[in-house]
Structure 1
Amino acid sequence: MTGKILVSACLIGHAVRYDGRAKPLAHPAIERWRAEGRLVTMCPEMSAGMPVPRPPAEIAGGASGEDVLAGRARVVEITGDDVTATFRQAAENALRLAQETGCAYALLIDGSPSCGSGFIYDGSFSGAQHSGRGVTAALLMRAGIQVFSDREIDRLVESLAAAV
């Protein structure tokens, strides 16, 4: 099937977020895509062995996922633990799954240091945001996969319709 979509598991209702919760996305397209067999569900952090719940993590110093991939920035938990290697592994796992299953698109939860595609938090754990991508979103985009945030589902619907 063409038009497969890698989707953040938390958006489908799986309680895999750092706080042990889900953030289900209510949109008629989700059920249609599920019925069509288009959805490939994944939590990158869990694929790399992170537990649920887990301490909040942010990309340090207002950097981005691209900076993490280039070795210029780190991902740290609120505890101070460096989880950069785990987030890089999570991104590689997501890319491998997307490629193995033929996903040309990804629908990811925004704000995450892994999946954020429009904004991420600035590393201060103060709630301050800035535009940027998480590590997984950056790697998927680098590989040519079209990434959409949960706030851009209508754009994804349009992109899929245009690709037919």
Structure 2
Amino acid sequence: MRLALVAVGRLKRGPERDLADSYRARADALARGLGLSPVQVTEISESRARRAPDRCDEEGSLILGAVPPGSALVVMDEGGRPVTSTGFAEQIGAWRDGGRPGLAIVIGGADGLGAAVRQRADLVFAFGAATLPHGLVRILALEQVYRAMTILAGHPYHRGAP
């Protein structure tokens, strides 16, 4: 199953990018043995439209165009529902085992996500009700992908409750 992270905006050089790259590399090292691909990161340029709804729609079109066909779509959004790490791992395993060709995780722009992206989502995932910086959300998303892989592999990195 192909893995993709599609994010609006670029992560500049520095500690956030270093940490994101670290979790991505860890995930990539486990991926093949789990029937998954390395994580393909696609950065979408922020829209320059004047109105927020137009920016969301423009970014949404680019996001959906970057999602591999047939992929399960996980949208990171403060209005989503919290999911346990174990639950996330189980869902990824179910999509993989059910024959989904890919999984795309989406992080929207500063104005949020357009309705088309939210409607297409298989899961709207929240790290909580707080608004978080996009760089931090990217780090957390990649860490959760890595954690999900360790859970699927039976690796001791995840030591949560059984």
TM-score normalized with structure 2 length: 0.41
TM-score normalized with structure 1 length: 0.41
Structure with greater helix percent: 2
Which structure's relative contact order is higher, taking Cα pairs within 8 Å and 6+ residues apart? 2
